[in-house]
Structure 1
Amino acid sequence: MRNIQDIRNTLWTQIFALPQDSNLPLQLQLRSVVVQAILGGRLAPGAALPSSRDLAAMLALSRNTVSASYQQLVDEGFLEAKPRHGVFVSSVPHQLIADAPHSGAATAHLTPQWRSRMLRTLSQVPTLSKPDAWRQYPYPFIYGTHDPQLFPVEDFRECCVRSLARAQLPQWTPDFETDDVPDLIEQIRLRLLPKRGVFAMKEEILVTVGAQQAFHLLAELLLDRGTRLGFEEPGYPHARNTFSLRKPQCLSVSVDSEGIVLDQLPALDYLFVTPSHQSPTTATLSLERRQRLLQLAEQRDFVVIEDDYEAENLYEGNPMPALKSLDRSERVIYVGSLSKSLSPALRLGYIVAPSAVIAELRVLRHAMVRHPSAFLQHAYALFLSLGHHESHARRVNTAMQERVQLAAQALVRHLADFDFHLPRGGASIWVRGPAWLDGSELALAARRHGVLIEPGDVFFAAPPHPCPFFRLRLSSIAPDQIDAGLHALSYAVTELAQSRGQVRKLPAQLD
């Protein structure tokens, strides 16, 4: 009898084994494994479960944890409690799973030719990417995560908790249809945009699921096959790829140390620019060129799409006025991001454009996602209204300035034959290696040394061969890892040099 009971306990322990690396409370973990066992068919309808006392002993949990989990699952209909008999699996959850149809005999079926049916695909288009296990690399000079040392946990939690107060629920729980949370629109209009010299009415602002959705919406509304779209070369690959879905005629426009080059500008319908910190070179478009660009837009009848990329990240000098602030003829559509400096996963951005354009974009957005999370909009409106956004931006600026300086010093120390310009702001450095170097090959070689970089070829519509450029992003790497990371990168460079017969000494050991 004892052996049978031991076997049963072992089986229950296997079925209800809690994950080893979960950060969820134990009660939530237990509820999750019970639900998965029921929906996965390992626990049949009517099956009796161990008592809360017995299961607590088997899993080394408190009885209160098990009892609370059982009660919650009873309330949700997954379990049934029968007085003086125990807890049993309910039959209700299995009604959520449709039975698979059974055919009388195995027959051959003609499946669709999906490749020929896909009218728009980006799976083969070069873009910024990183390995699945990129967090395991010690030197990630890439974009992709928040900085745990900078993320304003307490401030952001306060805003989320306040939004969840009962008195605030009517402010964000209804369906907003085509609208946005009014408080967030007001914060963008009165707090953020004036700092960039932009003054807009509420009818001229639309909230988006990050800047990426802004590009998608604008592409759907404005671009079509044959539309002449000017794009910086090199330029922002995520924007280029999004616009390419509508098959415009993409025309490359050169950039230099002052931003986009306006000489010999081709005939255009639209021009996409990143004037604050050009992506990827970090060059700032000069005031003279900004004014000249707007003159050309009016004279030649084209519209400028301004991505105010990393405009808040400025280390020295006065901020250059946004193109939108200089626009007097409604020829600039402005795209901004709310969440980039906080966390890329929050996905909040906005578009400022003439009211007629915003009205159409609202209807188009509604057809895609209705609207971005109203809860997140409300919480971020609080985050802005309480001054947390500004204080966080200042901390990020200070931290990024330190990292840029550390990276510049390390580049001079370990890769002295590489060229770069110290940026005035942003969170990256654009680097050019020797002519024989290819950035994509270097990126692969660097992984073997624990280093991740962003190869330069993905930023070009027509990259040179070899393409000696790469970008060092500094938002995902700790300051004390920068020097060691670039020292490790120099080993990868030396390996490639030796494989090509280039003379290069092995890097000196770090102290």
Structure 2
Amino acid sequence: MALPIETFFLSPNHQGTLQSQVQQMIAHGILSGRFGTGEKLPSTRKLAAHLGISRITVTLAYTELVASDYLTARGRSGYYVSDNAPVPPVYQPQPMAAESVDWTRAIGQRFSGGRTLSKPKDWARFRYAFIYGQTDPQLFDHANWRQCALQALGQRDFSALTADYYDRDDPQLIEFIQRNTLPRRGISANADQILITMGAQNALWLTAQVLLTQRRTAAFEDPCYPALREILTQSRCHMAPVRVDQKGLPPDAIPPQVDVIFATPSHQCPTTSTMPMERRQDLLDRARALDALVIEDDYEFEMSFLERPSPALKSMDVDGRVIYVGSFSKSLFPGLRLGFLVGSEPFIREARALRASVLRHPPGHIQRTAAYFLSMGHYDAQIRKMGAALHRRRTAMQAAIDAHGLEIAGLGGFGGSSFWMRAPAHKDARQLALDLQEASVLIEPGNAFFSGQDTPRNYYRLGYSSIQSDRITEGIARIAKAVES
């Protein structure tokens, strides 16, 4: 029986090549049970004419499907669904039974319900999306990333793609971090002092798990990165939030009996303030006096388009008490989920063992692709391009903010990609965000960044990494109108 040609159509939302679309269309038809064993497919000429594509594209797709045993070619007769094609599963849904488990008692530790950031999944449809950390497709070097991914898929890199590293990492990526990334921050480390992580958040989790117990105390900035606060809560350690000022974390406010200090000296989250060099030395002195360790989250240091970034806190450390957290996800794209830890060998050894027990290692193909992208100079070129674009957007945004009389609560002196804003005291930024969505504007309420119950509600963050310059002025005008109303 021949399959009617009307049942074949291409999805307008498919992102791959035409050949891959044809392959996926036919494979899906077989796997879903719509195309049965032995049924004849349309000829390559007829299907190409029906879909409006070239005949060679259809021929190549058929050939690949024959090679993977979805189709079989029968002489001059044509192509048929193979007898060995995957059989669609027979699924008989079972009637829903009432569960007898009392999950309120069965769950030993809760991880949900914390105060975290949330972003609409459809944020890109908003015309004025002042959302932090999202990728602007106009700035990302997709062509070269794709070429690096294809190179990583090549035969020469077969072992890097398919091997189980167990607790190790891609040596090419480690070498680049060791020879290029860290020296730019004034840091020297050997390969055994570097660990690849699934982004900075995974690095912070590993650090908390290795260093903290229920008897130890962690000091952290207030306001801070909300996910860090959740990580510390889950570790069940004693928590000591320290309110930041215009220069970041004040060392003299760190209480005694602290074991681990979490800080963002280069670019405080979310106020964007930069810790001066004198205070950095004071922080190291305070940590030495407490015999405490310092976790330095050095996110976004690459976005220093106004002035050169200060040396990392880790570069000033002579005791080995600073553990450095870096990330490529902020500067490339958030979905990459690739970061790294740098610390003394005893610490990295334990973090490596913990990572191996949870997820082995980040995927080898992603590591090798990133290694190529970094080593071929594409990363530096993208950083320069992003820095120039963010500089223009920041200038336009500050001019619009000043023109409409909005208040900036935190302004990074080196660059970055966001403003920390303060509305009048009677305003609730959460309601303000809901009202602005009706005007196609997205902002981030700031309450999630603060610790404790009685938190300020009039702070909000405006990111400019994913909004185009020509939309900034009107977007700020709509925010000002909502604040005044």
Counterpart check, 1:258 vs 2:251: no
Aligned with residue 211 of structure 1, among 173, 196, 200: 200
- Structure 2 runs not aligned, ≥5 long: none
**1:125–1:241 CA contact under 8 A, matched in 2:** yes
Amino acid at match of 1:59: L
Superposed, which structure 2 residues align to 1:83-122 within 5 Å? Answer: 83-95=75-87, 98-100=89-91, 108=97, 110=99, 112-114=101-103, 116-122=105-111
Aligned with residue 58 of structure 1, among 33, 43, 50: 50
Corresponding residue number in structure 1 for 2:340: 350
Aligned with residue 245 of structure 1, among 234, 252, 255: 234
- How far apart in 2 are the matches of 1:114 and 1:86? 57
Superposed, which structure 2 residues align to 1:388-403 within 5 Å? Answer: 388-403=378-393
Residues 114, 58 of structure 1: alpha-carbon distance in 2 compared, 3 angstrom cutoff: farther
Per-residue deviation, 1:191: 1.0
- How far apart in 1 are the matches of 2:224 and 2:412? 16
Calculate the aligned-residue CA RMSD, in Å: 2.5
Per-residue deviation, 1:381: 2.4
Corresponding residue number in structure 2 for 1:508: none
Per-residue deviation, 1:111: 5.2
Amino acid at match of 2:392: E
Corresponding residue number in structure 1 for 2:459: 469
Corresponding residue number in structure 1 for 2:33: 41
**1:408–1:422 CA contact under 8 A, matched in 2:** no
Corresponding residue number in structure 1 for 2:395: 405
- How far apart in 2 are the matches of 1:115 and 1:90? 51
- How far apart in 2 are the matches of 1:255 and 1:156? 38
**1:315–1:401 CA contact under 8 A, matched in 2:** yes
Aligned with residue 368 of structure 1, among 349, 352, 358: 358
- How far apart in 2 are the matches of 1:183 and 1:66? 39
Per-residue deviation, 1:421: 4.2
- How far apart in 1 are the matches of 2:69 and 2:57? 18
Moved more, 243-252 or 125-134: 243-252
Corresponding residue number in structure 1 for 2:476: 486
Residue by residue over 1:226-275, the C-alpha shift from the partner in whole angstroms, topping out at 9 and shown as x without a partner, is: 43111111001122223332222222111000101223422312111111
- How far apart in 1 are the matches of 2:55 and 2:142? 32
What secondary structure is seen at the aligned counterpart in 1 of 2:188?
A: coil
Corresponding residue number in structure 2 for 1:503: none
Residue by residue over 1:191-227, the C-alpha shift from the partner in whole angstroms, topping out at 9 and shown as x without a partner, is: 1111211111111001111112112222332233343
Amino acid at match of 2:425: A
Moved more, 17-26 or 45-54: 45-54
Residue by residue over 1:137-156, the C-alpha shift from the partner in whole angstroms, topping out at 9 and shown as x without a partner, is: 01111124322332233443
Amino acid at match of 2:403: R
Corresponding residue number in structure 2 for 1:75: 67
Moved more, 286-295 or 202-211: 286-295
Higher relative contact order (CA 8 A, sep 6+): 2
Aligned with residue 23 of structure 2, among 28, 31, 50: 31
Moved more, 321-330 or 459-468: 459-468
**2:258–2:292 CA contact under 8 A, matched in 1:** yes
What secondary structure is seen at the aligned counterpart in 2 of 1:148?
A: coil
Per-residue deviation, 1:58: 3.5
Moved more, 57-66 or 251-260: 57-66
Superposed, which structure 2 residues align to 1:170-249 within 5 Å? Answer: 170-249=159-238
Amino acid at match of 1:433: A
What secondary structure is seen at the aligned counterpart in 2 of 1:245?
A: helix
Per-residue deviation, 1:278: 0.2
Per-residue deviation, 1:121: 4.2
Corresponding residue number in structure 2 for 1:275: 265
Per-residue deviation, 1:133: 1.3
- Structure 1 runs not aligned, ≥5 long: 498-511
What secondary structure is seen at the aligned counterpart in 1 of 2:303?
A: coil
**1:275–1:309 CA contact under 8 A, matched in 2:** no
Corresponding residue number in structure 2 for 1:506: none
- How far apart in 2 are the matches of 1:145 and 1:423? 19
**1:430–1:469 CA contact under 8 A, matched in 2:** yes
Corresponding residue number in structure 2 for 1:509: none
- How far apart in 1 are the matches of 2:450 and 2:368? 38
Corresponding residue number in structure 2 for 1:380: 370
**2:132–2:462 CA contact under 8 A, matched in 1:** no
Number of residues of Structure 1 aligned to a counterpart in Structure 2: 483
Per-residue deviation, 1:352: 0.3
Moved more, 70-79 or 154-163: 154-163
What secondary structure is seen at the aligned counterpart in 1 of 2:224?
A: coil
What secondary structure is seen at the aligned counterpart in 1 of 2:261?
A: strand
Superposed, which structure 2 residues align to 1:441-480 within 5 Å? Answer: 441-462=431-452, 464=454, 467-480=457-470
**1:437–1:466 CA contact under 8 A, matched in 2:** no
Corresponding residue number in structure 2 for 1:13: 6
Amino acid at match of 1:72: E
Moved more, 310-319 or 266-275: 310-319
What secondary structure is seen at the aligned counterpart in 1 of 2:335?
A: coil
- How far apart in 2 are the matches of 1:430 and 1:107? 49
Residues 71, 318 of structure 1: alpha-carbon distance in 2 compared, 3 angstrom cutoff: closer
Moved more, 204-213 or 219-228: 219-228
* TM-score (norm. length: structure 2): 0.92
Residues 85, 132 of structure 1: alpha-carbon distance in 2 compared, 3 angstrom cutoff: same
Moved more, 30-39 or 273-282: 30-39
Residues 92, 120 of structure 1: alpha-carbon distance in 2 compared, 3 angstrom cutoff: farther
What secondary structure is seen at the aligned counterpart in 1 of 2:299?
A: coil
Amino acid at match of 1:49: L
Superposed, which structure 2 residues align to 1:159-178 within 5 Å? Answer: 159-178=148-167
Amino acid at match of 2:152: S
Residues 102, 92 of structure 1: alpha-carbon distance in 2 compared, 3 angstrom cutoff: farther
Residue by residue over 1:383-436, the C-alpha shift from the partner in whole angstroms, topping out at 9 and shown as x without a partner, is: 33333333332332222222222111111112x152434321211110111111
- How far apart in 2 are the matches of 1:214 and 1:198? 18
Residues 114, 316 of structure 1: alpha-carbon distance in 2 compared, 3 angstrom cutoff: same
- How far apart in 2 are the matches of 1:109 and 1:44? 37
- How far apart in 1 are the matches of 2:359 and 2:36? 38
Residues 397, 38 of structure 1: alpha-carbon distance in 2 compared, 3 angstrom cutoff: same
